[in-house]
Amino acid sequence: MSGSEKLEIADLTALNAIAAGSNKKNPRIVAAGIGGKLMGTKSLVTVTAEQLTEDLKHNNSLSQEQKNKIIQDVKDAKVANEVKKTEDATKLHISEQPWTLNNWYKHVNWLNFVLVIAIPSYGLFQAFQYPPCLKTLVLAFVLYAFSGLSITAGYHRGWAHKAYEMSTPVKWFFALFGAGAIQGSVKWWAHGHRVHHRYTDTNKDPYDARKGFMYSHLTWMLTIPNPKHRARADISDLIADPVVKFQHTHYMALLLLMAFIVPTVTAGLFWGDYWGGFIYGGILKTFVIQQATFCVNSLAHWIGKQPFDDRRTPRDHALTALVTFGEGYHNFHHEFPSDYRNALKWYQYDPTKVTIYVLSKLGLAHNLRTFSQNAIDQGRFQQQQKMLDKMRTNLQWGQQVSELPVWDREEFNTRAKKEGLILISGIIHNVKTFIKEHPGGQAVVRASLGKDASEAFNGAVYAHSNAAHNLLANMRVAVLRDSNPNNNTFAVQQQYLDDHAIYKKLS
């Protein structure tokens, strides 16, 4: 065998290194800097390509039992007392230990707790004391829309999925207002999101929807994760982006500026409402965007239809779209992640898509990517076919002709009248109990007993519906010897109708 005839198998470790972005000379640490640390997943991304490849060899998914256990652990603080039963519990990572009165505070990611629970709670409390003024509400709403769209059109479709190319001013806009949403830097966010897409519904999925609604919504970021569930995704394109780099480096300053200072100062300088600007334009606006975005991880993996693939958790639902600027067609999105659209129909709510489209018309966005209609329809077709196949196997279609006993004519003639047998398409059917039910009356069926009624059944008397053919198939009892049985009685009838031009297609 000469050299050119060798078949090279792709090197999995090398490919995993590329896919994880760890093939670079100085593998950057995703969670570095305040922007990355914010959501605290350093241990999760410290992983080599060898480890990633190795991980494949172990059971990487949860059994139903394990799943129940995790949900139980998370919910049920009573488990705490059982820790004493486990001798070497302390040797386990904190995420593998049950919650106890002694260790519960170690389970919690306190920085995130402050950012997504404590501050918003304080804001809500203040809102009750301090009713808003209209101008401040309008400001809060505008900032909400700007920051929300910065996450969906910028962080998500633009950076994480490269669904289109942003012009530089658009990048700055999304990077600034995105920082105001307090969801981490683009770099951290897009990395986590790529991991989510690559490892959806496995332990490596940061917001693993199998672990329950609350886990995928909030709990995942409020608790310390298990470093065994390490994973990485390639973000070399993001590292090369100066806007992403700048935002990551100065994230904490940008966060304070965009989330709190801008609304406070705007409302204060223009209409003297500093406090309202802080509470409504700052804290509560951020709170609403956070919860809305979290819904993409929870609600979008929880309620709705699965028109493209039902093997994983993502789902399409108008309600989710409504609260997430159009990110609710999530079954589509997981199947076609780099499509700039989430909703395809004009009547479905997807303002993020509209924003991107308008930006492109203004020359501020380019190369909007879509999957071909063919690929989309193929997905829809396959899922529907799968449901239909399931439906078919749950229905009775009558015995297979090949499994039927073979009778000779004598046997048929002897038994026909007594047992109520009719021959159609070479197959003997027992119509005894059906005679009284026959929608075309008893007389015609009785007159056909013991006879070959193929022609009569197929159009010479009445061209029966599909329903009649289905009923017929479920009455099969035997095949007549040398009679050329045909179990596709539908086709036989169609042939008969065509031959006699009884029905013609209308268009």
What character string, x for contact with ligand HEM (CB under 6 A) and - otherwise, covers 320-339? Answer: ---------------x-x--
> Does residue 480 touch a copy of itself according to CB under 8 A?
yes
Name beta bridge partners: 166.
365
CA distance 384 to 344: 18
Which residue's C-beta sits nearest to ligand HEM?
440
Chain CA centroid to CA 188, Å: 22
Chain CA centroid to CA 68, Å: 21
CA distance 369 to 379: 18
Q: Which residue is listed with tokens 């589509």?
A: 332
Query: CB neighbours of 143 closer than 8 A, spacing ≥ 6?
Result: 177, 180, 262, 263, 281, 285
Q: Is-contact 166 174, C-beta < 8 A?
A: yes
> Does residue 28 touch ligand HEM according to CB under 6 A?
no
Nearer to a copy of itself, 4 or 102 (CB): 4
3-22 positions binding a copy of itself, by CB under 8 A: 4-10, 12, 14-16, 18-19
Nearer to a copy of itself, 64 or 129 (CB): 64
Nearer to ligand HEM, 285 or 341 (CB): 341
Q: Can you tell me which of 167, 371, 435, 495 binds a copy of itself, judged by CB under 8 A?
A: 371
Nearer to a copy of itself, 134 or 506 (CB): 506
Query: CB neighbours of 101 closer than 8 A, spacing ≥ 6?
Result: 80
Q: Can you tell me which of 105, 439, 499, 501 binds ligand HEM, judged by CB under 6 A?
A: 439
Nearer to a copy of itself, 81 or 367 (CB): 367
CA distance 466 to 491: 11
Nearer to ligand HEM, 134 or 240 (CB): 240
Nearer to ligand HEM, 285 or 330 (CB): 330
Work out whether strand 421-424 and strand 406-407 pair parallel, antiparallel, or are unpaired.
unpaired
Which phi-psi region, left, alpha or beta, contains residue 501 (left: φ > 0; alpha: ψ -120 to 50)? left
Q: Is-contact 326 296, C-beta < 8 A?
A: no
Query: CB neighbours of 106 closer than 8 A, spacing ≥ 6?
Result: 94, 224
Q: Is-contact 260 279, C-beta < 8 A?
A: no
What character string, x for contact with a copy of itself (CB under 8 A) and - otherwise, covers 319-348? Answer: ---------------xxxxx----------
164-203 positions binding ligand HEM, by CB under 6 A: 194, 197-198
Task: Considering only the stretches 59-67, 251-259, 297-305, 445-453, report the one whose residues sit in contact with ligand HEM under the rule CB under 6 A.
Answer: 445-453
> Does residue 21 touch ligand HEM according to CB under 6 A?
no
Q: Residues touching ligand HEM: how many (CB under 6 A)?
A: 28
Q: Can you tell me which of 121, 440, 442, 491 binds ligand HEM, judged by CB under 6 A?
A: 440
> Does residue 498 touch a copy of itself according to CB under 8 A?
no
272-311 positions binding a copy of itself, by CB under 8 A: 308-309, 311
